[in-house]
C-alpha cells in the first residue's frame, strides 16, 4: 500500500455534517442491531477469541532489548517506540524538578472512524478491539487504531482492516480531520491523526465490527470499561452546533428544545428530562457565554507565556 500519496477527499460542508452528527446523536434506531442485541454481540466477540496475558521479564521479550549506550528499551527494528528517561524542570505547581520514564514515539498514528448513512442516519463502524492492558481485554474501538509502524507493517503482519478507506483516493467525504496529542505525561510529543470519514461505497462487514449510531455509542460510554480511550478521543472532536439551530431565534430554539425533550421523555429520568436540551442549547448559543473566544485565547496564551517547562532526555 502506498501511503505517501495524499488522499483526495471531498470536504463536507460544516452545516450538513453538523446536522448529520446531531441526527445520529439523537437516533437509537439501528437497522442492524438494537442496544440489547449489541450487548449480546459484544459478549460473543469477547468469547470468540482466546486471550492470555502473562507478565514476563524484559529479558524474555522478543526483539526488545535495552540499548548498551543509552539504556533505553527499544525494538530491534528501531521502529514502534522507545522507553527513555527524562528530567523535567518547571515553575508550574509545587514540584519544580523530577525525573521519570517516558514513551518516545515520534510517529503520527491514525485513529479513524468510517461512517455511512443508513435510512438517512449516520452510522459509525466500530470494532471490538482486544488490547492486553484493557479491563476485560476487549473494548469498543475506532474503525482503525494504528501507529505508523503498525499500518506500514513493520511487524510483518497484515495491515489493519479498512485502512484503504483512509488512504486511497475514493468517494469519501472528510467530516473530521485533526492532529491531537497523546497523554503528555506518558508520551513525548506523540500525536495522532483523529479522522472521521463518510463513504457511500459498499462496506464489507467483518466479524469484529459493527455499525452503531452516535446515540448508541454515547449510551455505551456511560457504561464502565466499554469504549476505549482512542475511540472517545475521536468522538470528542465531533461538533454539535448545528448551523440550522444557530439561525433560530430564541423563541423557536426553545420550542425545538421542548420538542426534543418530549421525544426523549420516555427514555430519560424525570430529573434529567431537560439535560439533552441544555447540552444542545450550550452548543448552539453564543449569547450567554461567560468569556468570548478572544478572552479564552488570551487567557491561554498568557498561561503559556508565564509558565516554563524544560524537558531533558
What pLDDT, on a 0 to 100 scale, did the predictor assign at position 176?
Answer: 95
What's the confidence (pLDDT) of residue 263?
A: 45
- Residue 261 vs residues 20, 110, 245, 268, 295: alpha-carbon distances, Å: 19, 37, 15, 9, 33
Q: Which domain holds residue 82?
A: 60-104
Residue pair 85/98 in contact (Cβ under 8 Å)? The answer is no
Q: How far is CA 237 from CA 175, 179, 257, in A?
A: 10, 11, 23
Chain centroid to CA 9? 20
What is the percent of the chain with per-residue pLDDT over 70, rounded to a whole number? 79
- Regarding whether 100 and 207 lie in a shared domain, the answer is no
Answer yes or no: do 88 and 179 share one domain. no
Question: Given this model, what pLDDT does residue 278 score?
Answer: 72
| pLDDT grade for 253, boundaries at 50, 70 and 90 | low
pLDDT at 147 (0 to 100):
85
Domain with 23 in it: what CATH number?
3.90.79.40
Higher pLDDT, 264 or 142: 142
Structural domain contains residue 298: no
Same domain, 22 and 128: yes
CA distance 191 to 178: 10
Our count of domains for the chain comes to 2
Task: Indicate the length of the chain as a whole number.
Answer: 313
**E strand or H helix that includes residue 260:** helix 250-264
In this prediction, residue 49 carries a pLDDT of 87
Q: Do the beta carbons of residue 32 and residue 126 sit within 8 Å?
A: no
Please tell me the distance from the alpha carbon of residue 155 to that of residue 164, in angstroms, as a whole number. Answer: 19
Q: Note whether 313 and 85 are within 8 A (CB).
A: yes
Backbone angles phi and psi of 309, in degrees to 5: -145, 120
Res. 88 pLDDT band, cuts 50 70 90: very high
Does 145 share its domain with 246? Answer: yes
- The b-or-e profile of 23-60 (16+ CB within 10 A means b, else e) is bbbbbbebeebeeeebeebbeebeeeeeeeeeeeeeee
Instruction: Looking at the structure, tell me whether residues 139 and 100 fall in a common domain.
Output: no
Indicate if 96 and 16 belong to the same structural domain: no
Q: Are both 83 and 121 inside the same structural domain?
A: no
**How many CB atoms within 10 Å of residue 235?**
21
Q: Do 64 and 121 have their domain in common?
A: no
**Do both 156 and 219 map to the same domain?**
yes
Average per-residue pLDDT for the chain? 85
Nearest to 235 by CA among 181, 199, 196: 196
Q: Are residues 68 and 38 in the same domain?
A: no
Among candidate residues 70, 89, 104, the one where a domain is terminated: 104
pLDDT at 289: 80
**172 in any annotated domain:** yes
For the segment 211-233, what is each residue's pLDDT rounded down to a tens digit?
A: 999 999 999 999 999 999 999 99
Tell me: do 16 and 37 sit in the same domain.
yes
Q: Does 238 fall in a domain?
A: yes
* Own/partner long-range contacts of 214-218 (Cβ < 8 Å, ≥24 apart): 214/21, 214/24, 214/25, 214/27, 214/122, 214/124, 214/238, 215/24, 215/25, 215/26, 215/27, 215/28, 216/28, 216/30, 216/35, 216/38, 217/124, 217/126, 217/140, 218/25
Q: How confident is the model at residue 268 (pLDDT cuts 50, 70, 90)?
A: very low
Examine the domain organization and report whether 276 and 162 are in the same domain: yes
Which carries the bigger pLDDT value, residue 260 or residue 166?
A: 166
Summarised one tens digit per residue, pLDDT across range 140-186 is: 999 999 888 777 776 667 888 999 899 876 668 899 999 999 999 99
Amino acid at each position: 500500500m502506498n501511503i505517501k500519496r495524499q488522499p483526495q477527499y471531498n470536504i463536507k460542508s460544516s452545516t450538513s455534517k453538523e446536522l448529520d452528527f446531531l441526527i445520529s446523536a439523537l437516533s437509537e434506531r439501528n437497522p442492524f442491531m438494537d442496544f440489547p442485541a449489541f450487548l449480546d454481540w459484544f459478549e460473543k466477540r469477547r468469547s470468540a477469541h482466546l486471550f492470555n496475558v502473562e507478565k514476563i521479564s524484559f529479558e524474555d521479550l522478543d526483539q526488545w532489548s535495552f540499548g548498551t549506550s543509552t539504556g533505553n528499551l527499544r525494538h530491534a527494528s528501531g521502529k514502534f517506540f522507545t522507553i527513555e528517561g527524562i528530567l523535567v524542570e518547571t515553575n508550574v505547581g509545587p514540584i519544580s524538578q523530577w525525573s521519570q520514564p517516558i514513551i518516545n514515539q515520534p510517529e503520527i498514528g491514525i485513529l479513524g472512524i468510517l461512517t455511512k448513512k443508513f435510512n438517512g442516519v449516520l452510522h459509525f463502524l466500530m470494532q471490538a478491539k482486544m488490547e492486553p492492558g484493557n479491563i476485560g481485554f476487549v473494548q469498543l474501538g475506532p474503525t482503525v487504531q494504528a501507529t505508523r509502524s503498525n499500518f506500514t507493517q513493520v511487524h510483518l503482519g497484515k495491515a489493519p482492516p479498512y485502512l484503504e478507506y483512509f488512504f486511497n483516493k475514493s468517494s469519501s467525504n472528510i467530516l473530521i480531520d485533526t492532529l491531537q496529542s497523546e497523554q503528555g505525561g506518558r508520551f513525548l510529543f506523540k500525536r495522532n491523526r483523529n479522522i472521521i470519514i463518510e463513504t457511500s461505497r459498499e462496506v464489507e462487514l467483518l466479524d469484529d465490527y459493527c455499525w452503531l449510531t452516535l446515540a448508541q455509542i454515547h449510551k455505551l460510554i456511560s457504561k464502565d470499561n466499554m469504549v476505549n480511550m482512542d475511540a472517545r478521543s475521536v468522538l470528542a472532536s465531533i461538533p454539535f452546533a448545528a448551523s440550522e439551530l444557530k439561525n433560530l431565534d430564541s423563541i423557536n430554539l426553545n420550542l425545538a428544545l421542548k420538542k426534543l425533550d418530549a421525544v426523549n421523555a420516555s427514555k430519560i429520568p424525570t430529573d434529567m428530562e431537560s439535560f439533552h436540551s441544555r447540552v444542545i442549547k450550550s452548543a448552539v448559543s453564543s449569547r450567554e457565554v461567560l468569556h468570548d473566544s478572544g478572552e479564552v485565547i488570551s487567557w491561554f496564551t498568557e498561561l503559556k507565556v508565564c509558565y516554563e517547562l524544560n524537558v531533558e532526555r
